[in-house]
Amino acid sequence: MARLHVVTGKGGTGKTTVAAAMALSLAEQGKRVLLVEVEGRQGLAQLFDVPPLPYVERRIAQGPGGGDVFALAVDAEAALLEYLDMYYHLGRAGKALDKVGAIDFVTTIAPGLRDVLLTGKVYEATRRKSHGRLAYDAVVLDAPPTGRIAPFLNVNHEVADLAKVGPIRNQADAIMGMLRSDVTRIHLVTLLEEMPVQETLDAVGQLEALDLRIGSIVVNMVRNSPLDDDALALAVKEKLPATEIGKGLRSAGIAVSKGLVATLVAEARDHAVRVGLERENRDRIDALGKKVTTLPLLPDGIDQGALFDLAEELRA
14's contact among Mg ion, ligand ADP, none, with CB below 5 to 8 A by partner kind, is ligand ADP
Q: Please state, in angstroms and as integers, the Cα–Cα distance from residue 226 to each residue in 45, 59, 152, following that order.
A: 36, 41, 41
- Classify residue 96 by burial, with Cβ atoms within 10 Å: 0-12, 13-18, 19+: exposed
Give which of 196, 102, 115, 121 is closest to 159, Cα–Cα: 115
Q: Which of residues 217-246 bind ligand ADP (CB under 6 A)?
A: 220-221
- 13 binds ligand ADP per the rule CB under 6 A: yes
Binding positions for Mg ion, 250-279, rule CB under 5 A: none
State which of residues 51, 167, 226, 301 lies at the interface with ligand ADP (CB under 6 A).
301
Residues with Cβ < 8 Å from 156, sequence gap 6 or more? 116, 119, 171, 172, 173, 175, 176, 179
Segment interacting with ligand ADP (CB under 6 A) among 14-22, 77-85, 175-183, 190-198: 14-22
Residue 190, contacted partner among Mg ion, ligand ADP, none, CB below 5-8 A by kind: none
Residue 14 found at the interface with ligand ADP (CB under 6 A): yes
CB of 12 to Mg ion, least distance (A): 8
CB 42 within 8 A of CB 53: yes
Q: What is the DSSP letter of 60?
A: E
The answer to whether 163 and 149 have CB atoms below 8 angstroms apart is no
Cβ proximity to ligand ADP: between 236 and 298 the closer is 298
Q: Quick check: 8 binds Mg ion (CB under 5 A)? A: no
197 neighbors 284 (Cβ within 8 angstroms): yes
Question: Cβ of residue 41: shortest distance to Mg ion, in angstroms?
Answer: 6
* Nearest Cα residue to 38 out of 178, 153, 203, 130: 153
Of 13-21, 66-74, 154-162, 247-255: span binding Mg ion (CB under 5 A): 13-21
**In sequence order, what are the residues at sequence separation of 6 or more whose Cβ sits closer than 8 angstroms to the Cβ of residue 19?**
5, 7, 35, 37, 140, 141, 142
- Going by C-alpha positions, the residue among 115, 134, 112, 131 that lies closest to residue 183 is 134
- Residue from 289, 272, 290, 286 nearest 236 by CA: 272
276 binds, among ligand ADP, Mg ion, none (CB under 5 to 8 A by kind): none
3-state secondary structure 197-222: HHHHHHHHHHHHHCCCCEEEEEEEEE
Q: Does 13 bind Mg ion (CB under 5 A)?
A: no
Among the listed ranges 35-43, 170-178, 243-251, 277-285, the one in contact with Mg ion (CB under 5 A) is: 35-43
Residues 121 and 246: their CA atoms lie apart, in Å, by: 62
Q: Which does 301 bind (CB under 5 to 8 A by kind): Mg ion, ligand ADP, none?
A: ligand ADP
- Contact between 16 and Mg ion (CB under 5 A)? yes
Minimum CB distance to ligand ADP smaller for 44 or for 176 = 44
The residue within the footprint of ligand ADP, chosen from 273, 297, 304, 312 (CB under 6 A), is 297
**Least distance to Mg ion, CB of residue 295, Å:** 15
Q: Contact between 71 and ligand ADP (CB under 6 A)? A: no
Q: What are the residues binding Mg ion (CB under 5 A)?
A: 15-16, 43
Q: What are the residues binding ligand ADP (CB under 6 A)?
A: 9, 11-17, 43, 220-221, 295, 297-298, 301-302
